[in-house]
Amino acid sequence: MPKPGKKQGISADIRSLLVFILIFVMIQLVFSAVLGLAYDAGYIGHTSLIFMSYAGTSLSFPITVIAYLSAYKRMSSKKILTSLGYGRKGMLRNIGIGILIFIAILTLEILVNVAGYTTNIQIHTNVSNVFSGAPVWFYIFIAVIAPINEETLFRGFMVPRLGILPSAILFGLAHYSYMSTFGVEVIFAFIFAVIAGYVFKKTKSIYPGIAAHMLVNMLGVIAMFG
């Protein structure tokens, strides 16, 4: 027979999850409403609406995390930043670790491309098709801002609460919409998340993940233009 304390713990976890999801949905609804009004009023076109929606979803990641931790968990701003790995200690060293992660991911991508070329199997990431026709600001956004948003949620927030593998699976699934060959985008995202999650757990710093993520996305942007 389970102990009362165990029941309460499980109940608290479920309640916390529901509160987090509710906050996320509410923020998404606000973004959607604002963009919908702007579109109906003729301030933005259909293309801008699509890419602003992408940006809105990305921005809702850190906003949800901060709103949850501050309003529901009653954490101070300093404690929130520390818990998410935004401490200043060893920042340069941790950025250097992020560069090493990027090199590892880049090496893996090169090996996959070589294997595809050798076996005459075409492997497409499909990212260029998804983001084709995007305005310049959006490319800057996915190269600089989106990595911060995603690392805050998937590494800074999820890794301590869910663990490395569950957070990595969710991060991989978040890239499913690219519909890449053999799900390569999902696989690469999962591998990246496992490495970045492990490094986050060891260093207690978000900066390795952010640095590596920025470099990966910047390379992706360059490849799209190429």
Question: 155-212 pLDDT, tens per residue?
Answer: 999 999 999 999 999 999 988 766 665 567 888 899 999 999 999 999 999 999 999 9
Sign of CA dihedral 37, 21, 198, 164: negative
- Alpha carbon 89 to chain centroid, angstroms: 23
The pTM of the full predicted model, rounded to 2 decimals, is: 0.89
26-74 pLDDT, tens digit each: 999 999 999 999 999 999 999 899 999 999 999 999 999 999 999 999 9
Helices (H), the chain: 4-40, 46-67, 77-83, 91-118, 127-130, 136-140, 146-151, 158-162, 164-173, 184-203, 207-225
Tokens of 84: 């998410």
What pLDDT shows up at residue 93? 95
Is the pLDDT higher at 224 or at 181? 224
CA distance 66 to 132: 32
* pLDDT over 80 (residue 6): no
- The pLDDT tens digits for 73-126 are 999 999 999 999 999 889 999 999 999 999 999 999 888 878 777 877 766 666
For residues 127 and 134, what is the distance between their CA atoms, to the nearest angstrom?
12
Provide the sign of the torsion angle of the four alpha carbons 74, 76, 81, 85, taken in this order: negative
212: Cβ–Cβ under 8 A, 6 or more apart, which residues? 98, 99, 101, 102, 105, 192, 196
Q: For residue 138, how far is the Cα from the chain centroid?
A: 16
What does the pLDDT read at residue 40?
A: 95
Q: How far is CA 36 from CA 29, 30, 133, 151, in A?
A: 10, 10, 20, 28
Instruction: Specify the pLDDT at position 1.
Output: 46
Q: How confident is the model at residue 129 (pLDDT cuts 50, 70, 90)?
A: low
Query: How far apart are alpha carbons 224 and 131 in whole angstroms?
Result: 9
Phi/psi of residue 2, nearest 5 degrees = -65, 145
